Amino acid sequence: MADFGHGGIPHRHGTARPGGAMIRAWMLPQQWPDCHFWLESGQSSAEDFGMPRTRVAVVAFDGIRPFHLSVPCAVFGEAAGDEAPPFELRVCAAEPGGLRTQAGFGIVAQHGLRTLAWADIVVVPSWRDPREPPPEPLLAALRRAHARGALVVGLCLGAFVLAEAGLLDGRRATTHWRWAARFAERYPRVRVDPGVLYVDEGDVLTSAGTAAGIDCCLHVLRHRLGAEAANRVARTLVVPPHRQGSQAQYIEQPVLAAARDTPLTKTLDWATRHLDATHSLDSLAARAAMSRRSFTRHFRQHTGTTVGQWLLAQRLALAQRLLETTAQPIERIAERAGFGTALSMRQHFGTALHTTPSLYRREFRGG
């Protein structure tokens, strides 16, 4: 028997982090000749750590892609630093029996749909076919979880499952861009935004495809635990710590993001270190020694967003970190983050985060 640790690398011995998921592989020739996996999750209770933990249920189904399942397990199963894991994670089978993956191995989950009644957060990481209606027991369990106040998250094609359950009626939502037109046609009561990474509607979230699910889950973690905790998990996973939900799903020539020695990336690095200064498209283009038109094109290719949106995201992220980790007055933080005044920062917090700087600090620092 081999234990698979973080990143899917096998170890001869080892245990999963408390609250995370352990994957054990063994051969079962009776059903499939391929490798099967047993998912053990949520083995330690929250009381073991002397603190309540947020309970997360991740729905697995027959025909799931392993990457889709791994996304919420990696984000919510990862300890944010040296502290005890803040989430208790359980993988739940949407259907009885073993579940086959599209990668040729099977999954046996310890938990079923009843566990959705236990969870504070329910994640549907995808769906096997947008043309196939999800089973009614899954839809009913999602409706009950949402009705009692659980946060329900649909990643990638999981948005189809949430829409089929009626949880997205009258709301904004997104899904993988390849299926956005079909989604809009099938669910006319949902306001589909096909060009963004994720949409936060308060008690329901949806994300675009594949890697956008990581951004969405980190967004949930950020709101629950703060920017620093989300940044630590992101660093462990070696992914960007924060991308705004409004960022474009598809970025042309994404290889540019890895280039750290271009005039554009040097300018962006400089801007993030000087957010207290006034910046504009023209001033940044001049610093990069590029024309306004060329800078705009390359900036969009590199970030998938506009200069104004990028600057706002950087300023909000800095303000969040300072509110969480310092006792500086809100007026000083507003200056350091480039908002100018506390009033301006409060307005931007209200629009983007649905809270005020004072409430944000009180929630995450007890101040």
The predicted-structure confidence for 179-193, as pLDDT tens digits, reads as follows: 999 999 999 999 999
pTM over cut 0.85 = no
Strands 172-173 vs 99-100: parallel, antiparallel or unpaired:
unpaired
* Per-residue pLDDT at 82: 61
Q: Residue 304: what pLDDT? A: 78
Higher pLDDT, 227 or 6: 227
pLDDT score of 120 more than 50: yes
How open is the CA angle 102-104-106, to the nearest 5 degrees? Answer: 90
Residue 365: pLDDT band (50, 70, 90) is low
pLDDT score of 254: 36
Task: Using a pLDDT cut of 70, give the percent of the chain over it.
Answer: 77
Residue whose C-alpha is closest to residue 229's, from 365, 355, 354, 350: 365
Give residue 241's pLDDT.
63
Residue 10 is predicted with a pLDDT of 31
Instruction: State the average pLDDT over residues 241-268.
Output: 58
Question: CA–CA separation, 107 vs 121, rounded Å?
Answer: 22
What are the residues whose beta carbons fall under 8 Å from the beta carbon of 340, sequence distance 6 or more? 334
Average pLDDT over residues 68-75: 94
How confident is the model at residue 94, as a pLDDT?
96
- At 81-112, the pLDDT tens digits run 566 678 999 999 999 888 999 999 999 999 99
Higher-confidence residue of 18 and 75: namely 75
Helix H or strand E segment including 87: strand 87-93
Average pLDDT, the chain: 81
Rg (CA), the chain: 21
Specify the range with the lowest mean pLDDT, choosing from 21-30, 187-196, 204-213, 355-364: 21-30
Residues 288-309 have a mean pLDDT of 90
Residue 273 pLDDT grade (very low, low, confident, very high; cuts 50, 70, 90): very high
Higher pLDDT, 365 or 327: 327
The bridge status of strand 191-192 relative to strand 172-173 is parallel
CB–CB of 341/334 below 8 Å? yes
Binned at pLDDT 50, 70 and 90, residue 228 comes out as: confident
Give me the pLDDT at residue 244, please: 56
Question: Residue 364 has what pLDDT?
Answer: 65
Q: Over 90: is that where the pLDDT of 211 sits?
A: no
Contact residues for 146 (Cβ-Cβ < 8 A; gap 6+): 122, 152, 165, 167, 203, 204
The residue ranking higher by pLDDT, 262 or 82, is: 262
Question: Residue 158's pLDDT is what?
Answer: 97
Q: Looking at the predicted structure, is the pLDDT value of residue 346 above 90?
A: yes
pLDDT one-digit tens code per residue, 25-49: 333 333 333 334 445 444 334 444 4
Q: Tell me the C-alpha to C-alpha distance, in Å, between residue 336 and each of 189, 315, 319, 328, 342.
A: 43, 9, 8, 10, 11
Contact partners, residue 257, CB within 8 Å, separation at least 6: 251, 302, 303
Contact (Cβ atoms closer than 8 angstroms) between residue 313 and residue 321:
no
What is the bridge-based pairing of β-strands 121-124 and 151-154? parallel
Q: What is the pLDDT of residues 2-30, one digit of tens each?
A: 333 333 323 323 333 333 333 333 333 33
